[in-house]
A and B are shown apart, each in its own frame.
Chain A
Amino acid sequence: MSSRRYVLLGVADDGVFSRLKAEIEGLPNVEVIRGLSIGDFDGVSLAVFPTGVRYSGVPVSEVPTIVKKHLEGDKTVDQRFDGSVLPSTILPSRQKRIVLERVGVIDPESIDEYIESGGYEALKKALNEMSPADVIEEVKASGLRGRGGAGFPTGLKWEFTAKSEGKMRFVIANADESEPGTFKDRVIEEGDPHRLIEGVLIAGYAVGASQGYIFVRGEHSLAIERLKKAIADAKERSFIGENILDTGFSFDIRLVPSAGGYICGEETALIEALEGKRGQPRPKPPYPPQKGLWNQPTLVNNVETLANVPSIIMKGANWYRSFGTESSPGTKVYSVLGNTVHTGLFEAPMGITLRELVFDYGGGLKDGEFRAALVGGAAGGFIADLDTKLDFEGVKEKGGMLGSGAVLVLSDKADAIGVLLSIARFFKRESCGKCVPCRVGTQIITDIMTRVYNGNCTRKDLDVMLDIAYNMKLTSFCPLGQSVHLPVKTALEIFRADFESRCGD
């Protein structure tokens, strides 16, 4: 691993960036790399490497202090810029980093650093030492499950795709990350783009595909920039293209920015969009492994899923299974937000409890007592039990869904009704309009939630809302509409009293 000194900037802020550039001028061996999402941050953050010390909420005026003390004097600036105490110390040490192992550690724009740190070794191993079937077996054995939310066994999906008849096969990395509160995939794309590319290449080899796509959320401009460069660099080094590394395997990857729309994260809507059509879901079956892009067998995997693959191939299924739980091996990248002291991304083994996540990683609550957490993003459910195990089964047992791994922590002072209203609005805005229950139901639920929020609803409204949400769960065309029921139902269970206090009757 490189030992050069550099400053990574978190959320891109032009003022901080230019000031940093100016301040470090003349300092030997210090670089500024702009716009990296460090992983755990709120507000503008930067980190100084190789030590990895992070600074949150840095105003422009404090940049000279950090440069002077830390970069020139090598002393950590022990002061939080919004007045509280720092440095942020929840660190990689406590986390178990697999997919984020290089994020914030290497220069994401340098293919050399990726290679120096062991990158593309898994690809070489797969191509040179393993048959496609071996690769699929390894992934199956690892127990890796889809990190997009549904948790479908990845190896099985690969096998279905490999076994489907078609003129050609495709691999699509679903990088259209749009679940509210979720930003794990973006951080991988921005912080370690080659890892994703390597995952796509190995998947392509395993399922017998020759064309890959990374369908990336259009708003993620930095991710797009980094991925573009990474693809170009990988092509130049013959990791992508004809006869890769002289192994006879040919594979191309194209980057396609999404035109927008939460629904395009649904795999069949994504495929429609990729074909240049209106992003609306297709009926299933057939599933993409049978008939996907251009009606050919297509593997669609989430970014985090694919990012696990190089490590599994390199270190083996048994190693992978040493993390996490029996049914959900490996790690999970949780996006923690809300009322915790620390918010941001934490990669931790599957199966840690909600309590561990909130208190050990999130540093506890900023203010007030823990009330509940919305686990799984807008499409997830509210969970009040801190002993809930955070893996696919554990969350399901509590009536929720692990989903994308977004965890919105609410204290007893938080406005749960406001959260549910914003979820309702989100679904209303993102409903594609194709099926009746979702198109109409999201509007009705939003209207009722607005009345609840304004304190002029009736108890009957609450019943109607739950009925509609249930009908949506039973009859909606795709997971978008089906998802609405969970947050509504769990909110009404946990916050029943709050809701009733807003009713006029």
Chain B
Amino acid sequence: MSSKEMVTIHIDGKEIHAPRGASLLKVARDNGIDIPGLCYYEKVSPTGSCRLCVVKIDGRPGLVPSCMVQVEDGMKVTAFDDEIESVRRGILEMILAEHDDDCINCEKNGSCELQDLAFRYNLGRELRTLPSLLDVVPKIYDDSSPVLIYDSHKCIKCGRCIKACFEIQGKGVLSFAGKGLGEYVVAGIENWADSACDGCGECVQACPTGALVEKPVYGVRVREIDVDRKVVTTCPYCGVGCQLELWIKDDRIVKVRGYDDIPNRGSTCVKGRFGLDFVHSPDRLKYPLIKKDGKFVEVSWEEALDYVASRLSEIRDKYGPDAIAGLSSAKCTNEENFVFQKFMRAVIGTNSVDHCARLCHASTIAGLVRAFGSGAMTNSIEEFLNADVIFITGSNTTETHPVTATYIKRAVLFHNAKLIVADPRRIDLVDYATVWLQQRNGTDVALFNGLMHVIWKEGLMDEEFIRSRTEGFDEFIKVIEKFTPEKTEEITDVPKEKIIEAARLYGSAERASIVYAMGITQHVTGTDNVLSLANMALLTGNVGRESTGVNPLRGQNNVQGACDLGALPNVFPGYQKVTDPNARRKFEEAWGVKLPEEPGLTVVEMMYAATQGKVKAMYFMGENPVISDPNIPHVKEALEVVEFLVVQDIFLTETAQYADVVLPAASFAEKNGTYTNTERRVLWVQKAIDPPGEAKPDWVIVQDVARKMGYDMGYSSVKDIIDEINRLVPIYAGITYERIRNGEKLQWPCPSPEHPGTKYLYKDRFNRPNGLGKFHPVDFIPPAEWPDEEYPFLLSTGRILYHFHTTSMTRRTQALPQYVEGPYMEMHPDDMKKLGIEDGEVVRVVSRRGEIKIKAIASGRVYSGSVFIPFHFAEAAANMLTNDALDPISKIPELKVAAVRIEKIE
């Protein structure tokens, strides 16, 4: 927002300065003049339906609802006089006449805006002049949603929920039904269960009364007044980093609210609000376990730590440090990742530390570092609101980054942005798109080159930007030359008219933002895909400015941080190369040991090294490769053959079953630390409750193992680790413990304690040595495996809204499995007809790597000849089928394209 002209107004004689155009009601309230009102909700447009906020304004006839009035210079307002108060009291009494004030059994008792006003205006039942009208107000009690309940007798028809659903979440699932006193809120056309409601709960948070309340998904009905304390922390699910307010009672999470701060401004998705009860699951690991005679036995920490330390020391001494490989975790905090990679490098002596970012955005880092110099989102989530064009490819944003998607939807719905979706599947965002490019899976480079061909041919590129800020244009354009719309259509199946339309849209935009995720990265050409997107931004000068850029949406809550803090085999924290002697020297001095010089093994390489006998021991902190990695049969084989496997987790996961030792870790709610969200923003994680049993924070456990192995890291708190990060990691140097705890939410690079953080990257120069962005000539290479006669279907995998990663958290919640219980495969109805498969029939899906049985669901989201399987579910794990062919640069496996055969089960 640009700075607005200030005006002077008078309310009840008080002089007030406010920006022109601000809502009079808000201005009044901000200045301590408490005009009543129930339908006003600051985050949405004013409704003006409750009429309680009426005031008198000199020069205007009658009473005016102040929420709908924009302040103008010289305005003279009467907010309180006897007449206005009497009118307000009359209206309030009317509201009470249609409201069931059964406060003694209402969850909102004590935090109900209507109750507060009734008290303020002294409108107890015996003091009212109007009879109750509840016998004519239809009673609609809709508890069909897994997460919320609507009661029309508590509803005052203010419409805040409806506007929250549309104007904040961009969904528009809710509306009014009925007329007059018969009006009520309806989801879809009949009820919540059959509507498109996805359970985000924005409506519940917006409701001023008890009309919309959460179901007791956390086990108990509670009122706000029952709660012992509220703890603001960061959501543990995806990479958006939503700020949550956990309501704690008796050391349990009993309710969750979105907290009104960057980056989510109070919004959440269904998982963040209704899916945190896994913390209290009876399945939580409470004590260390050692496998004895094939069975896990509870042991003391002392015994477990001794055992781990001695076995790891033994194997290191016998086979050398590179016989041990470790997986750090994108679910753990920055500090824990820092400690874990330090453990692997300084204590074990190997660079073989990696984590699941390898499977999601390794190619992002490889590609964006090459093109721009840093491997992260160039811009911030909130900047999407002001983009003219948003180009989304390979990101099913509404399901994988639901709150980020709300910004994109709002940009389209309320800020005139145009959306281009390039995705083989008809994802929900297609409904918001101006152009949808449905390319064949794995033909992304061809599509982007085709778009750039048009941009180039039509002169839509930014020549000044290319000249002054980039290099490599000439070689690059030679490749682009041959990607005519006709040729591009041939490769991608996208009609050339659409290619031209999209290219013109993107190419002519003042501010165009590219958004992508794993549909781009998880290919053998993953790095090429990313480079190609970077080319597009460079060609049009759409980088280094607000609301532009190339924006990879990171999947896990802390995948950005895990990468930033060195849980990668080739770099120390802060992307300082292990092969760089200066960097090595710095870390050697800090840690007091000699550090390995060669890059270590990546995720998939580790598994192969294990089956080849090169890796003998593995240490996994918070990772579940048995579900998340491609080619599961091979992963299982690797875990079986290694001599020693340590798994540290909050649950006994599928992977932990293979472990020799299992160490119980604290969940996000039980420890302090920081996560770095997808927009490079460091967010505080606040301990809310104690861990169950003897579980401990991961960093404590790893430090204990190190100590047992003779290396004392000497940390007594998270602060000590952050201090060390500040010293060793230049991009985090200014993100100090004090600033974080003061509520600053800084984005790296933040090189000094005075630095404000960096909202968007490359304003003046790129982060490459010469400061220029680099074009890369990228030609089209087909996927490693195309459908053929034997395996005629193209399989793609991905995530869904209601589950996360390997479901170890989401399946241990009460609400989420009610939306999606288990595995299924999206299949085009034409293909089902051809194969004689009924909707919902269980079929066998076979690839060259393995086979699963799974329920086939008829779906128009996939095109004929392709199928889609969510990868979450162990009992029909998509990764039994996926191809572990690797991108040669980033070593990311091709999870998005595999050839499969579908068989009826007779």
Contacts and interface: CB of A to CB of B under 8 A. Distances in A.
A428 B180 contact: yes
Interface string A418-439: 0000000000111111111101
B51 interface: yes
B183 A433 contact: yes
Given A278-B175, A436-B95, A471 B49 contact: no
Contact of A437 (B51, B62, B179, B180): B51
A437 B90 CA distance: 9
B97 interface: yes
B48 interface: yes
A165 interface: no
B136 interface: yes
Contact of A464 (B52, B87, B129, B136): B129
Q: Is the interface of B mostly helix, strand, loop or mixed?
A: loop
A439 B180 contact: yes
Interface string A44-61: 000000000000000000
B51 to A, nearest CB: 4
A126 to B, nearest CB: 35
A468 B94 CA distance: 9
B94 A440 contact: yes
Nearest to A282: B48
Nearest to A467: B90
Contact of B181 (A283, A440, A468): A440
B627 interface: no
Contact of B183 (A283, A430, A439): A439
B792 interface: no
Interface in B81-139: 87, 90-91, 94-95, 97-98, 129-131, 133, 136
B433 to A, nearest CB: 20
B182 interface: yes
Contacts of B282: none
Interface residues of B, number: 33
B91 A437 contact: yes
B94 A436 contact: yes
Given A283-B48, A440-B94, A474 B180 contact: no
A475 B91 contact: yes
A474 B63 contact: yes
A250 B866 CA distance: 48
A443 B181 contact: yes
Interface in A420-478: 428-437, 439-444, 447, 464, 467-468, 471, 474-477
A475 B87 contact: yes
Contacts of A280: 176
A477 B54 CA distance: 11
A432 B177 CA distance: 10
A82 B131 CA distance: 48
A208 to B, nearest CB: 23
B49 A435 contact: yes
A474 B46 CA distance: 19
Given A283-B46, A443-B136, A436 B176 contact: no
A138 to B, nearest CB: 31
A437 B50 CA distance: 8
A68 to B, nearest CB: 51
Contacts of A430: 179-180
B652 to A, nearest CB: 52
Interface string A260-295: 010000000000000000101001000000000000
B70 to A, nearest CB: 10
A431 B97 CA distance: 17
A429 B46 CA distance: 26
A475 B63 contact: yes
Interface in A283-318: 283
Nearest to B184: A433
A474 B63 CA distance: 6
Contacts of B179: 261, 429-433
B409 interface: no
A433 B94 contact: no
Contacts of A434: 49, 157, 159, 183
A440 B62 contact: no
B538 to A, nearest CB: 34
B68 interface: yes
Given A433-B182, A435-B49, A464-B129, A444 B97 contact: yes
B178 A433 contact: yes
A413 B889 CA distance: 97
Nearest to B181: A443
Contacts of A261: 179
Contacts of A464: 129-130
Contact of A436 (B51, B129, B131, B136): B51
A278 B176 contact: yes
A447 B132 CA distance: 12
B412 to A, nearest CB: 16
Interface in B722-737: none
A477 B51 contact: yes
A444 B50 CA distance: 17
Closest 8 pairs (CB-CB, A-B): A433-B183, A440-B94, A431-B180, A475-B51, A471-B90, A435-B49, A433-B180, A283-B68
26 contacts: A283-B48, A428-B181, A429-B179, A429-B180, A432-B183, A433-B178, A433-B182, A434-B159, A435-B48, A435-B51, A436-B50, A436-B51, A436-B91, A436-B94, A436-B157, A439-B157, A439-B180, A440-B95, A443-B136, A443-B180, A444-B97, A444-B130, A474-B54, A477-B48, A477-B49, A477-B51
Interface of B: 46, 48-52, 54, 62-63, 68, 87, 90-91, 94-95, 97-98, 129-131, 133, 136, 156-157, 159, 175-176, 178-183
Given A435-B51, A467-B90, 17 more contacts: A261-B179, A278-B176, A428-B181, A429-B180, A432-B179, A432-B180, A432-B183, A433-B178, A436-B49, A436-B51, A436-B156, A440-B133, A444-B94, A464-B130, A471-B91, A475-B51, A475-B87
